[in-house]
Amino acid sequence: MKLAGKVVLITGASEGIGAACAEACRKRGARLALSARNETKLNQVAGVDGLAIPGDLTQPETRRLIVERTVAHYGTIDVLINNAGAGLYVAAHLAPMEQARQLFELNFFAMLEMSQLAAAVMRKQESGSIVNVSSIAGKLTLPWFTLYSASKHAVCALTDGLRMELKRDGIHAITVCPGYVDTGFQSHVIAGRPPLVMQRSRPLRITAERCAEAIVRGIERNARTVVTPVSGWLLMAAARMFPSLVDWQLERMYSKAR
């Protein structure tokens, strides 16, 4: 899908990957509707021409408001980039259920409901793209990030299913699997701290701008899955072909980091 003149709704757009996606879409002539909690940062990213809709996505009424206000302002939604998300660095066997639920409310249920609301609009025009930002952790489970990996695996499954469910309505769904993107993500966690091995991680590290370019190019070419950096495909292939070996290596890294 070419983005010039298209209405692009982006969640988690106040900073990081979402803000970089907004910039990349703006450069291509898209009309922007942006959401996140921090109104000041959101207004800065939206600028004079974009629509800023502040709110907490863990609240179902916020999800409805975002879609309603976007449609009221622009008349439609062509692309939804479901990007808002957060990490949780607490072992799954110890995590309080409240934290696990909070994680899934943002990383999975908000994406699901935003997809439902946007799909209802897109079905009327028989076109649209739903872009769900998962992670390489959505393709292989990282032991310092078990519950986050579980939420992102759920996002991958949801997106694959939506693609098949909505194909005949002219709606395309794209899964995005970034590696390590240099944003404030590691300090915005629900709880816990990333192990040192992750804080210093160099492989698979890219800027938010590079990640956003990969996402936008994925939308333009109707990609099925965007993996960025592309070397992430190697890791995912290794996890499929040699699961015990990859588990062994990840467990060693995890144990050393504790």
Binding site for ligand NAP (CB under 6 A): 12-18, 36-38, 41, 56-58, 83-86, 106, 133, 135, 178, 180-181, 183-185, 188
- The CA angle 105-108-113, to the nearest 5 degrees, is 85
Please, which residue, 13 or 171, has the CB nearer to ligand NAP?
13
CB of 214 to ligand NAP, least distance (A): 12
Is 148 known to be catalytic?
Answer: yes
CB of 119 to ligand NAP, least distance (A): 19
CB of 201 to ligand NAP, least distance (A): 9
Please, which residue, 3 or 206, has the CB nearer to ligand NAP?
206
Please, which residue, 56 or 209, has the CB nearer to ligand NAP?
56
In contact, 71 and 77? CB cutoff 8 Å: yes
Query: Would you give the end-to-end CA distance of the chain in angstroms?
Result: 45
Please, which residue, 86 or 238, has the CB nearer to ligand NAP?
86
CB of 190 to ligand NAP, least distance (A): 9
The catalytic site residues sit at: 148
